[in-house]
Amino acid sequence: MIDFILWVILIYFVLRLFGKYLLPLIIKYYLKKFQQKFYQQNSNINPDKKEGETNVEFSQAKKTNRKTNADGIGEYVDFEELETK
């Protein structure tokens, strides 16, 4: 009977130590592995970009084919106001 109680206490402490020290390390390892796999599959997401940071990239083809207005102020759109009944 005493052997049984000692085994239960020993198993309890082993599981407690495992849950406190080893389990978080194992979870951290698998989360890091999952995160790397996620960013490899979704290459358009940049994890190093800070929140609120804006980055505008233009390709060379768009720069050469872009039509600009002589004034550089944009395009004028004429519109009519419609009456509603």
- pLDDT band (50, 70, 90) for residue 67: low
For residue 84, being part of any structural domain is answered with no
For residue 23, being part of any structural domain is answered with yes
DSSP string, 12-37: HHHHHHIIIIIHHHHHHHHHHHHHHH
- Average pLDDT in the 52-72 region? 63
Number of domains the chain contains: 1
Contacts of 39 (CB under 8 A, 6+ apart): 45, 47
For residue 52, being part of any structural domain is answered with no
For residue 66, being part of any structural domain is answered with no
- pLDDT band (50, 70, 90) for residue 50: confident
Give the whole-angstrom CA distance, residue 17 versus residue 82: 76
The range of the structural domain enclosing residue 7 comes to 1-44
pTM: 0.44
Residue 33 has pLDDT above 60, yes or no: yes
The mean pLDDT of the chain is: 81
* pLDDT score of 24: 92
